[in-house]
Structure 1
Amino acid sequence: MDDTQRTSGCPFRLDPLATDIHGESARLRAEGPATQVELPGGVQAWSVTDTALIKRLLTDPRVSKDAHQHWPDYIAGRIPEAWPLRTWVDVRNALSAYGDEHTRLRRLIGAAFTARRVRALAPKIEAITGDLLDRLSTAPAGAPVDLRARFAWVLPLLVVNTLLGVPEEAHDGFRRTIGGLFATNFTEQEATENAQEVYQLLTDLTAAKREAPGDDVTSALIDAHDDETDSRLSEQELLDSLLLLIGAGHETTVNLLDHAVVNLLAHPDQLALVQGGGASWGDVVEETLRHQAPVANLIMRFPVEDIHDAGSGLTFRQGEAIVINYAAAGRDPHLHGEAADRFDITRPTRRDHLSFGHGVHYCLGAELARLEGRIALPALFDRFPDLSLAVPPGELQPLESFISNGHQSLPVHLHKPGDRMTAA
């Protein structure tokens, strides 16, 4: 962000193309623990960058995520129907619920991420990883391979589809549309059309599972919808809960794998350290999550009453929108020191990040994402020990999203053992 993006007395306009998420976060942090920003469509909000303040807000029962109850602009119809980010506040699921409704909805989807179910997925994750690496091995010798498209993106999608029992013929549709939910550069028409396609896919999925239920989370949620007790899901809650599971269960892990590979290849000393046993792959996962929060900014929260925060001296008025800047929190120098921008898998504070949230909305899929990282990353570097970036790190193009923090593509050279023989 440059000075042209801000005028005296006006809020920062978040860059919808996300050309420099961390530079933007640093400038926002310099304004104080929280500062006013402008989202697409002229919507104003607080951007909170300070770790301590984020924790206080995320554990304060007076802070809601329910726009239907607690965002006056939304309730009064001042947010256009075609607002590009409207899906994020329209949804009725555990991501956006408040109070008892949040407890009810989180309990219903929590069964998908019990420790037992996550541990039981390990063999499946290993099998999916192995199959994807086998496919990569067939790539033409010497040609760059888009590791994001062919590995980092596909693996978590196949894992979450396994959890939900998504038929194979629907995989490509979800792969095509889920990323669009995180785009912040879409026109109103593009955002509307993408959301419509996602909901059609979800409707088709529930119809297929009603015809042929299985031992999967979608079938369990359909049972909860059909239940006659007070905990039953409405039809919108059913679809939106599936949307949450697919979106949240996928995007975070994609970006985790993407940034872990980039950081290790850009810092060969760190790669040598983990390969030599001086650090663990779990350390790589945690430092990646800190250094490159997979979700850079998460919208939105709303005070249900005026909140004066004594620690920062700021007052958040009832109904004001709040954006949590996880990218800034991950590099907070008050917590991680003046070298917070440096990737260091031995950093003492590598686990002290908020990349999976904090408080009652802590990400249910956190341990699954960590497990996927701990399985996929060593398998990748074991199979392709001479893996290298096909372009300098600075030439990798970021996603056009200030929500999802990843790259548009990740071109690499695999340097398979047979490549040298072919070249010779």
Structure 2
Amino acid sequence: MKTQASPARCPYPIDDSGTDIHAEAGALRTLGPAVQVTLPGGVTAWAATDPELIRRLLTHPDVSKDAHQHWPSFINGEIPTDWPLRVWVQVRNALTAYGDEHTRLRRPLASAFNPRRVRSLRTQITAITRELLDDLADTAPGHVVDLRARFAWRLPLLVANVILGVPENLHDGFRASMDNLFDTSVNGQKAADAYVETYRLLNLLVETRSKHPGDDVTSVLIDCHSSGTLSRQELLDSLMLVIGAGHETTVNLLDHCVVNLLANPDQHALVASGQATWEQVVEETLRHQAPLASIIMRFATRDIRDEATGLTFKQGDPIVINYAAAGRDPKVHGSSAHTFSITRATAREHLAFGHGPHFCPGAPLARLEAAIAVPMLFRAYPNLHLSVTPERLKPLPSFISNGHQHLPVVLRPSASS
């Protein structure tokens, strides 16, 4: 495990491999509501950890996500082309847009994830979950299964296939390339290679759906491009946003729901007995383990003085939002903020899907997938248990994505156990 920097040291060097994001979040919190940090590649930014400050920044009219307009270092060519996090700021989609551009780019995505359409997917999500559970049924008693690879990763991908129309032959390719994009520990060349491969796959997806359009988001976005509403780059980057960020959030949510319940059998007993609901499990997991620990970046479009904290964000200052820290803030959740408690009164007071104009449009779908899939998993395999202690689960090599590299479980005990 990497040794974290002393809390007295600023700028605080962010651990690019995400060895212990919650320890790091706690150290940052001790330094103040927002502190200067050093990101991979030596880029200095603010990391905001206080929930109320985060809400103010996420809704502030003078805080932008557009590096092309509002990050002087990027505009002036001071950020190297091989900066490993460059893809996170140079894409052209709703994640990075500002003002009217954000509204324009978000509109087709928001319509695709409207509540009515999401609710209509319940039957398909249930069927996909049942199919994945059936695929696990021939696993021998006592045999170890990677539930992240076999279940948590596949479910959102198959649901996304329904929504996006991603051909099955592209599934594995997208999985590998997206994993590399979220890996913040990689060097510039590997990040660049992942970037190139992702766009190759996106172009293949667009080519396929252009020839065979359907009732899916990809076809809708292609129509927007054909009508001149979206440029080719915006089309590709919008697809990257839905496939990447949206999928990763749900995978990590499923992952942590399972781990939290297996690591806390008293909490599982509450929901199994009906004393708590599966929706409570989902919300407390989102609070306790934000699927995306940090999001980069936002930029002050002018000098901003935050009166409540006394902090001043200078024009052009990059800002990282630390959702992992916000979810465990003791001012909101008390001294037990670090524990998993599904009956917690403040469980829904989290920011795991963001806040304000950039609130994740896929949040209802992620919640629905988890609320359907997790109880079906535990009902199908009531003796499900981890094959290692929770402390031995390896985190993803990322300070952005909060999940595990593998989720080794035993579905059924062996006859001798």
Same-fold status (TM-score > 0.5):
yes
Deviation, structure 1 residue 176:
1.4
The answer to whether structure 1 residue 90 and structure 2 residue 87 are counterparts is no
1:111 Cα shift?
Answer: 1.6
**Cα deviation 1:303-335 (Å, max 9, x = unaligned):** 100000001010000000000000000000010
5 Å matches for 1:20-99? Answer: 20-99=20-99
Which residue pairs with 2:388 in the alignment?
391
- Identity within the alignment, %: 61
Q: Is the contact between residue 92 and residue 234 of structure 2 (CA under 8 Å) also seen in structure 1?
A: yes
Query: What is the 5 A alignment of 1:3-402?
Result: 5=5, 10-228=10-228, 232-402=229-399
Deviations 1:246-275 (A, max 9, x none): 112210111111111111011101001001
Matches of 1:254 and 1:332 in 2, distance apart?
Answer: 24
Q: Is the 8 A contact 1:287 1:345 kept in 2?
A: yes
In structure 2, do the counterparts of structure 1 residues 341 and 62 end up closer, same or farther at CA, with 3 Å as the change threshold?
A: same
- C-alpha contact (below 8 Å) 2:62/2:301 kept by paired residues: yes
Give the Cα–Cα distance (whole angstroms) in 2 for the partners of residues 172 and 68 of structure 1.
32
CA contact (8 A) 1:260 1:285 kept: yes
Residue 181 of structure 1 deviates from its aligned partner by: 1.4
Quote the offset at 1:3 in angstroms: 7.3
Q: Which runs of 4+ in 1 moved over 4 A?
A: 1-4, 6-9
AA paired with 1:357? Answer: G
2 CA distance for matches of 1:249 and 1:318? 30
Moved more, 277-286 or 117-126: 117-126
Is contact 2:7-2:28 (8 Å) kept? no
Q: CA separation of 1:130/1:9 partners in 2, compared to 1, >3 Å: closer, same or farther?
A: closer
Question: In 1, distance between residues paired with 2:97 and 2:117?
Answer: 24
Instruction: Quote the offset at 1:4 in angstroms.
Output: 6.8
Quote the Cα distance in structure 2 between the aligned partners of 1:248 and 1:118.
Answer: 17
What amino acid does structure 2 have at the position aligned with 1:296?
A
Q: Do 1:248 and 1:365's aligned partners in 2 also have CA atoms closer than 8 Å?
A: no
C-alpha separation between the residues in 2 aligned to 1:102 and 1:202? Answer: 21
Once the two structures are TM-superposed, the CA of residue 122 in structure 1 deviates from its matched residue by 0.9
Counterpart amino acid of residue 110 in structure 1: A
> What TM-score do you get using the length of structure 1 for normalisation?
0.96
Q: How far apart, in 2, do the equivalents of 1:247 and 1:52 lie?
A: 28
SS in 1 for 2:400: coil
Q: Which runs of 5+ in 2 are unaligned?
A: none
Structure 1: gaps of 5 or more residues: none
Cα 1:331–1:212, aligned 2, differ >3 Å: closer, same or farther? same
Q: Secondary structure at the match of 1:37?
A: strand
**CA deviation profile, 1:144-187 (whole Å, cap 9, x unmatched):** 11011110011001111210001111111111111211111011
Checking the alignment, whether the CA contact within 8 Å between 1:6 and 1:13 is kept in structure 2 is: no
Structure 1 vs Structure 2 CA RMSD: 1.4
Structure 2: distance between partners of 1:50 and 1:260: 24
- Cα distance in 1 between the residues matched to 2:58 and 2:66: 14
TM-score by length of 2: 0.98
Q: Structure 1: how far apart are the matches of 2:127 and 2:3?
A: 50
| SS of match in other structure, 1:223 | helix
Q: What do residues 42-76 of structure 1 show as CA deviations (whole Å, max 9, x unaligned)?
A: 00000000000000110101000000000000000
